Amino acid sequence: MVSPGRPAGAEYHAIAPPAVPSERNRSLWPPRRATSQLPELAADLVRNRVAVIATPGSVASALTAKAATTTIPIVFNTGADPVEIGLVASLNKPGGNITGVSYMNTELAAKRLGMLHELLPKAARFAVLVERNNPSNDAMVADLRAAAASIGRDIEVAAAATGTDNVDGLS
């Protein structure tokens, strides 16, 4: 169902309360380059009193949903540490109206660099492409820099906001 005033090209899904007809079910899936629309989309979900907001795989969506409501349950999944990025208070007691699953992928970045070094021992320089403004990147980049220094190699960090964005950081 298209909501009046919803940004063009934005699609979103969430689950409406059982007493609400199914055409009120929605999802929050903005196009990758439309993260600026997230606050408006989240506010629309809150206004429509959905039962649950799910934000699969999107740190930006989860943080925006958390800022939009303290009463509607929010379910996330992320590769980042949800405590570190401010989604939950702790892993064992997330608190508030938010819960989810974390794959903790950011902790694996240094291990992946080590494996690349084993495969390419003569490579002097490595690069990583990250999404600009993703809060989980800070810890991952710090771990990568430390891992690169420990093996005596350089790592270049390139950041982009969208697939068509200019990449900052590579020379």
Dihedral-angle region of residue 86 (phi above 0 means left; psi in -120 to 50 means alpha; beta otherwise):
left
Burial 129-150 (b: 16+ CB within 10 A, else e): ebbeebebbebbbebbbebbee
Q: Give residue 87's pLDDT.
A: 92
- Identity of the residue numbered 164: T
Give dist(CA 130, CA 138) in Å, integer: 10
Q: Taking residues 156-171, what's their average pLDDT?
A: 67
pLDDT at 74 over 90: yes
Tell me which residue of 48, 45, 76 sits closest to 60, measured CA to CA. Answer: 76
- For 14, counting Cβ atoms within 10 Å of its Cβ (0-12 exposed, 13-18 middle, 19+ buried), the class is buried
Q: Which two tokens stand for residue 137?
A: 């990147």
Q: What average pLDDT does this structure show over 130-138? A: 78
CATH entry 1.20.1250.20 includes domain 22-103: no
What's the predicted TM-score (pTM) here? 0.60
Q: What element of type H or E holds 113? A: helix 109-119
For residues 112-126, give the mean pLDDT: 91
Supply the pLDDT for residue 109: 85
Q: State both tokens at 135.
A: 């809060």
User: DSSP labels for 38-83?
Assistant: HHHHHHHHHHTT-SBEEEET-HHHHHHHHHH-SSS-EEEEESS-TT
The predicted structure's pLDDT at residue 43: 92
Tell me if 130 sits within 8 A of 157, measured CB to CB.
yes
Q: Does residue 121 register a pLDDT over 90?
A: yes
